[in-house]
């Protein structure tokens, strides 16, 4: 029996040797036989990776900036964006100070935009504005950046590596509009971009940042009444949204009321004044409800002085509210219970 096992082992070894010998012969023939190699992957600084076939006809790489730009423009016109991008990048890499560099940078951005890589396109346009401010394409670039930022504001998804849809981002939209404002705060797209920063922050429910953006617009463009009025009204609306989320921080409701009051005082003929008055009434009710809840909290914890302060706030700020009647009843009870001057109210607990 042991002999049989040994014999089987050596038969297996012999079979494996024959298999390795056949594999080695196949690899030797594969290397020795002539065949057409695939296009190699080549990286060049400033140009990126590209596939190129050695000795291919119609080489796109030229020796003069003018000729290289012509290759890029012709490829772009034919919607050969990969070639147009390579040729444009070569102009920037080899002749960065030439008269043809601004146009090449513009074509780089256009290639990205036409390939639906909006984030890359926006950044490429920004490079043109930063490096080639005197380019003939500046006006078109400003408009294209604004349109791209609008697409992200309306929910366009970011793309990983420029291709894979990932998620929408209001932070990205706000950053893009911020760059537009920094480049030209009083230009054609400055005021609307500043307003759109606020809109992006509102969409992400970051109301304090939205208020900051709108108030900055109201201050910066105070000499443009239509923009300033809209900015102040939207700042008040953002305060209003924040107030409805802040159970104990009643100061936000007060800030909203102040913002609406300022809006009505500065723009009394604005058609939104009636809406502002209605919202102020709602905010006062919210403010009274918040103060009443704080008063109840203090009363529950036997902090009578604090409870008295906030019940009185309900009565003084919204005397017509049904809560004012309840507040008065609680005040009468607490005054009889304490028989001493009210102490300063403690700080309300954070929600």
What is the Cα–Cα distance from 118 to 236, expressed in whole angstroms?
33
- β-strands 157-160, 164-168 pairing: antiparallel
What is the Cα–Cα distance from 202 to 240, expressed in whole angstroms?
12
Strand, coil or helix: what is 127?
Answer: helix
What is the Cα–Cα distance from 261 to 139, expressed in whole angstroms?
39
| Token duo for residue 53 | 């076939």
Predicted pLDDT of residue 294: 87
Strand, coil or helix: what is 51?
Answer: strand
Predicted pLDDT of residue 282: 85
Q: What's the whole-model pTM score?
A: 0.73
Counting residues of the chain whose pLDDT is more than 70, the rounded percentage is 77
| Token duo for residue 180 | 């537009």
The pLDDT tens digits for 164-220 are 667 889 999 999 999 999 999 999 999 999 999 999 999 999 999 999 999 999 999
Q: Closest by alpha carbon to 145, among 115, 171, 110, 101?
A: 110
Buried b (16+ CB within 10 A) or exposed e, 312-348: bbbbebbeebebbebbeebbeebeeeeeeeeeebeeb
What is the Cα–Cα distance from 275 to 232, expressed in whole angstroms?
14
Predicted pLDDT of residue 40: 53
The stretches in the chain having pLDDT less than 50 are 1-5, 10, 29-39, 53-57, 342-346, 349-351
Strand, coil or helix: what is 318?
Answer: coil
What is the Cα–Cα distance from 194 to 183, expressed in whole angstroms?
12
Query: End-to-end alpha-carbon separation of the chain, Å?
Result: 83
Q: 168 - beta bridge partners? A: 157
Predicted pLDDT of residue 4: 45
14-19, Cβ contacts within 8 angstroms, sequence gap of 24 or more: none
Q: Which helix (H) or strand (E) holds 16?
A: helix 2-32
Q: Closest by alpha carbon to 213, among 203, 228, 201, 198?
A: 198
Q: Write down the H helix ranges in 33-117.
A: 65-77, 81-94, 101-114
Query: Position of tokens 């796109």?
Result: 60
Residue 33 CB neighbour total at 10 angstroms: 7
The pLDDT tens digits for 209-253 are 999 999 999 999 999 999 999 999 999 999 999 887 755 566 788
Residue 8 CB neighbour total at 10 angstroms: 10
């Amino acid at each position: 029996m042991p002999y049989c096992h040994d014999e089987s082992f050596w038969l297996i070894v012999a079979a494996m040797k024959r298999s390795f010998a056949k594999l080695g012969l196949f690899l030797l023939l594969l290397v020795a036989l002539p065949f057409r190699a695939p296009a190699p992957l080549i990286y060049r600084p400033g140009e990126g990776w590209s596939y190129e076939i050695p000795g291919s006809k119609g080489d796109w790489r030229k020796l003069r900036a003018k000729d290289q730009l012509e290759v890029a423009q012709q490829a772009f016109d034919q919607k050969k964006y990969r070639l147009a991008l390579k040729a444009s990048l070569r102009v920037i890499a080899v002749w960065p100070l030439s008269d043809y560099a601004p146009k090449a940078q513009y074509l780089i951005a256009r290639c990205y935009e036409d390939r639906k890589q909006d984030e890359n396109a926006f950044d490429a346009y920004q490079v043109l504005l930063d490096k080639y401010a005197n380019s003939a394409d500046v006006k078109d670039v400003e408009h294209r950046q604004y349109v791209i930022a609008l697409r992200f504001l309306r929910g366009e998804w970011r793309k990983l590596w420029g291709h894979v849809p990932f998620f929408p981002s209001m932070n990205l939209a706000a950053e893009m509009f911020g760059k537009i404002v920094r480049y030209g705060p009083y230009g054609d797209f400055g005021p609307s971009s500043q307003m759109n920063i606020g809109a992006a922050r509102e969409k992400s429910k970051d109301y304090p940042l939205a208020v900051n953006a709108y108030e900055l617009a109201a201050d910066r463009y105070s000499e443009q009444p239509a923009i300033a009025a809209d900015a102040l009204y939207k700042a008040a609306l953002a305060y209003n949204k924040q107030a409805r989320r802040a159970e104990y921080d009643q100061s936000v409701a007060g800030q909203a009321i102040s913002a609406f009051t300022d809006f009505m005082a500065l723009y009394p003929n604005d058609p939104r004044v009636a809406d502002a008055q209605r919202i102020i009434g709602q905010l006062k009710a919210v403010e009274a409800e918040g103060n009443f809840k704080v008063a109840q909290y203090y009363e529950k914890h036997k902090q009578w002085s604090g409870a008295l302060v906030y019940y009185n706030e309900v009565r003084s700020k919204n005397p017509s509210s049904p809560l004012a009647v309840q507040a008065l009843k609680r005040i009468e009870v607490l005054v009889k219970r304490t028989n001493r001057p009210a102490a300063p109210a403690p700080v309300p607990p954070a929600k």
